[in-house]
Amino acid sequence: MHKVKDIYKMLDEISPFELQEKWDNSGLIVGNMEDEIDEIYLSLDLDEQLLNEIPNNSLVITHHPLIFSPLKTVNFNSYSTKLLQILIKKDICLISMHTNIDKTHLNKYVCESVLNLTISSQDDFICYSDIDTTFDDFQKTISKKLNLQNPKLVQCSQSIKKIAITTGSGMSLINKIDADCFLTGDIKYHDAMEAKSRGISLIDIGHYESEQHFTSLLIGLLPKNLENQRLQAIITTSKNPFITSGE
């Protein structure tokens, strides 16, 4: 049998949990370090269907933490408490790697391995790449690689020489962006107005669409470490809560 603490230590060596932001809640969310597990599952998020399919006494490693703020009540009528009930009943442990792995691996992985861009520099959550293309050609290429359906766009210039990318929701970083075009998710109306006033083009690469690559990233980092544990990590897929028109 294998204990949670062994896997936690392995993950901490890959991407130290101490690097997470103060507001984040990465680490062991459900379970005990001494709990013994039979299997490991990787997923961007949790949903009920996914948890119902995962066997008892497993460990799930997600990107997004199930719990961010302290719970005052546990009535099993909200997203987090409903899933918390299933986790506890099935003795499933949960570890989340969020802003720590964003900084150390995920943004770089999506930029290089998914979008085939060369990173020129990195500033915490932001990866930069020097390119030379038109905005229209670039947004079409990005949309195809990330399978984006009608992405939200803000165009401030015809050509692009330098791009910045932050997976997930990165518009709070707009003050730090030094690029012609910023790729991130969850772009709102006033975000678009702010970017336009700064002359920064935007491509909304989606929260789910840009971060779903967490599982393929982590599976590539784990195998050598898992050999001595005789455990197999299994990729599972939580569903995007949004659907496109016509689905």
If asked whether residues 14 and 92 sit together in one domain, one would say yes
Q: Which two tokens stand for residue 48?
A: 């009920």
Contact 183, 142 (CB under 8 A): yes
pLDDT in tens, 103-161: 999 999 999 999 999 999 999 999 999 999 999 999 999 999 999 988 999 999 999 99
User: Residue 99's Cα: distance from chain center in Å?
Assistant: 8
Residues of the domain holding 82:
2-97+211-235
Residue 240 lies in a domain: no
Residue 247 has pLDDT above 60, yes or no: no
Return phi, psi of residue 4, to 5°: -60, -40
Query: Is 243 a member of any domain?
Result: no
pLDDT at 120: 97
Q: Long-range contacts for 193-200 (Cβ within 8 Å, ≥24 apart)?
A: 195/154, 195/156, 195/171, 196/154, 196/156, 198/174, 199/156, 199/157, 200/154, 200/156, 200/174
Burial of 193 (0-12, 13-18, 19+ CB in 10 A): exposed
CATH number of the structural domain spanning residue 226: 3.40.1390.30
**Contact between residue 30 and residue 89 where contact means Cβ atoms under 8 Å apart:** no
On whether both 186 and 121 belong to a single domain, the answer is yes
What gap in Å lies between CA 106 and CA 62, rounded to an integer?
13
Q: How large is the average pLDDT for residues 180-189?
A: 97
Give a yes or no: residue 197 inside a domain.
yes
Tell me the mean pLDDT in the region 60-83.
Answer: 91
Q: What is the mean pLDDT of the chain?
A: 92
Q: 29 or 72, which is more confident?
A: 29
If asked whether residues 91 and 154 sit together in one domain, one would say: no
